[in-house]
Amino acid sequence: MIKTYFYDAAQKKLLHDVDLSRHDLIQHEDDLLWVDLFDFNEQELNYVARVFDFHYLAVEDCLQHSPRAKIDTYDRYYFFVLHALRYKEDSDEEISLEQLNVFLSSNYVVTVHRRTLPTLGRMARKCLSNNTKYMEKGSDMFLYHILDGFTDEYFPILDRIDQRVDELEDQLYERPSKEITEEFMALKRTILAMRRAILPQKRMFSGTNGHYMFQVAKESEPYYLDLVDHIERITDSIDSFRDLLDGALETYYSIISARTNESIRVLAVISFIFMPLTFVTGFFGMNVPLPHQQSPWSTVAITIGLLGVSAWMFMVFKIKKWI
């Protein structure tokens, strides 16, 4: 599906569902055309690519899923691969990446995505209500609003992960179990997926000596500095969560190991106590004649002897603090 939004800077008016075959749409530098292509088929993508003369390699990237964000530079435009995050805690795959491909030029922006994205949905509703907030300050600020919307969606996910880490730290001391191990592994996968999606964006939008990897107007630079600051906070939080999980997992394995060693020590003590008892009863159980076996006191004496040996071994283990 193709949706179009055109901001006419001369009339300060916003139009939607414009005809892409019009050659006057992208001739004026202050105008801005936004083409949103979602839930699309290959024919629709090829049509838009012909209109704007997109390189076939960029078109191929739109048809394939890429797990890593990137930016490619072409003659008249820049091509971005970005990712929004969908978080579903109760599903098998907690975190999933929703790819957004962006073609950015001085006076047009083309967004290509398979599924609807909340950030672009909000922007589209504003445009449909003739609100020019997102389109009146140029294409670089339009891209900033997309990135800022994605960044805002990361923070609730981080807050929930923070809560889950705290819950896990409490549970591992109370009831170490297989379920906690699975929860650790699920959280680590979630954190690594977020880090893989977000960290490249920090490099993409960080200016080096005032130079960006794409064209950014001077008045837009403070916004991108603020955006990078938010991304750095997010990556720092992700790294701290990863360290906390690693530390908690080591503690969990230490607790399991200590409990296993305690169980083995108890079993070893029991085995040592029963070893002489088993030898004596086994030896005299092979039809070996007992001293004074005709007397009932022989059984009592042997029983007392076995109990005495057991008590003596128990006292020795107690003195050596093995139990």
Query: Considering the domain boundaries, does residue 261 fall inside one?
Result: no
Q: Please state, in angstroms and rounded to a whole number, the distance separating the CA atoms of residues 102 and 81.
A: 7
Strand partners of residue 102: 80, 111
CATH classification at residue 52: 3.30.460.20
For the segment 182-206, what is each residue's pLDDT rounded down to a tens digit? Answer: 778 888 888 888 888 888 888 888 7
64 and 212 co-located in one domain: yes
294 and 159 co-located in one domain: no
Query: Considering the domain boundaries, does residue 72 fall inside one?
Result: yes
Query: Considering the domain boundaries, does residue 266 fall inside one?
Result: no
Whole-angstrom CA distances from 157 to 42, 84, 153, 190 are 33, 12, 7, 10
216 and 307 co-located in one domain: no
Check pLDDT > 80 for residue 103: yes
For the segment 58-83, what is each residue's pLDDT rounded down to a tens digit? Answer: 999 998 888 788 889 998 899 999 98
Query: Considering the domain boundaries, does residue 263 fall inside one?
Result: no
156 and 64 co-located in one domain: yes
Token reading at 47 = 């049509």
Radius of gyration of the CA atoms of the chain, in A = 35
281 and 228 co-located in one domain: no
Query: Considering the domain boundaries, does residue 157 fall inside one?
Result: yes
The secondary structure of residue 240, as a DSSP letter, is H
For the segment 127-155, what is each residue's pLDDT rounded down to a tens digit? Answer: 888 888 888 888 889 999 999 998 988 88
Q: Please state, in angstroms and rounded to a whole number, the distance separating the CA atoms of residues 157 and 85.
A: 9
The domain boundary, picked from 255, 285, 311, lies at 255
What phi and psi values does residue 128 have, to the nearest 5 degrees?
-65, -25
More confident residue, 58 or 287: 58
In three-state secondary structure terms, 297 is helix
Listed residue (207, 167, 204, 203) closest to 187, CA to CA = 167
Q: Which amino acid would we find at residue 258?
A: A
- Output the average pLDDT for the chain: 82
Number of other CB atoms surrounding residue 279 within 10 Å = 10
**Residue 297 backbone zone (phi > 0: left; psi -120 to 50: alpha; other: beta):** alpha
Strand partners of residue 109: 34, 104
Decide if 144 contacts 223 (C-beta within 8 A).
yes
Domain that holds residue 275: 271-319
Largest CA distance in the chain: 123
For the segment 11-59, what is each residue's pLDDT rounded down to a tens digit? Answer: 888 888 888 877 677 777 788 899 999 888 889 999 999 988 899 999 9
